[in-house]
Chain A
Amino acid sequence: AQKITQTQPGMFVQEKEAVTLDCTYDTSDQSYGLFWYKQPSSGEMIFLIYQGSYDEQNATEGRYSLNFQKARKSANLVISASQLGDSAMYFCAMREGLIQGAQKLVFGQGTRLTINP
Chain B
Amino acid sequence: AAGVIQSPRHLIKEKRETATLKCYPIPRHDTVYWYQQGPGQDPQFLISFYEKMQSDKGSIPDRFSAQQFSDYHSELNMSSLELGDSALYFCASSSGTPAEQYFGPGTRLTVT
* Residues of chain A whose beta carbon lies under 8 Å from any beta carbon of chain B: 31, 33, 35, 37, 43-47, 50, 52, 91, 95, 98-110
Cβ–Cβ contact A35 & B100, under 8 A: yes
Within the complex, the shortest CB–CB distance from B102 to chain A, in Å, comes to 6
Cβ–Cβ contact B88 & A43, under 8 A: yes
B103 contacts the other chain (Cβ, under 8 Å)?
A: yes
Interface of B is mostly: strand
Within the complex, the shortest CB–CB distance from B5 to chain A, in Å, comes to 12
Cβ–Cβ contact A47 & B103, under 8 A: yes
Cβ–Cβ contact A98 & B45, under 8 A: no
Cβ–Cβ contact B43 & A33, under 8 A: no
Which of B42, B48, B104, B106 is the one whose CB lies under 8 Å from A101? B48
B residues 21-53 near A (Cβ < 8 Å) are 30-31, 33, 35, 42-45, 48-51, 53
B77 contacts the other chain (Cβ, under 8 Å)?
A: no
Q: Considering the chains assembled together, what is the distance between the CA atoms of A37 and B106 in angstroms?
A: 14
How would residues 74 to 103 of chain B score, 1 for a CB under 8 Å from any chain A CB and 0 otherwise?
A: 000000000000001010101011111111
A98-B98 in contact given A37-B103, A45-B90 (Cβ < 8 Å): yes
B73 contacts the other chain (Cβ, under 8 Å)?
A: no
B58 contacts the other chain (Cβ, under 8 Å)?
A: yes
Chain A residues near B71 (CB, 8 Å)? none
A50-B100 in contact given A101-B51, A105-B33, A105-B43 (Cβ < 8 Å): yes
Q: Considering the chains assembled together, what is the distance between the CA atoms of A50 and B48 in angstroms?
A: 21
Which of B45, B49, B50, B105 is the one whose CB lies under 8 Å from A44? B105
Interface hub of A103, A105, A110 (most chain B Cβ within 10 A): A103
Which of B35, B102, B105 is the one whose CB lies under 8 Å from A47? B102
19 pairs, A vs B, C-beta closer than 8 Å: A33-B98, A43-B106, A44-B106, A45-B43, A45-B90, A45-B106, A46-B103, A47-B102, A91-B43, A95-B98, A99-B97, A100-B55, A101-B56, A102-B55, A102-B56, A103-B31, A104-B33, A104-B58, A108-B42
List the 5 closest pairs (A to B, CB-CB), nearest first.
A101-B50, A101-B55, A45-B103, A107-B42, A102-B56
A100-B42 in contact given A37-B103, A105-B33 (Cβ < 8 Å): no
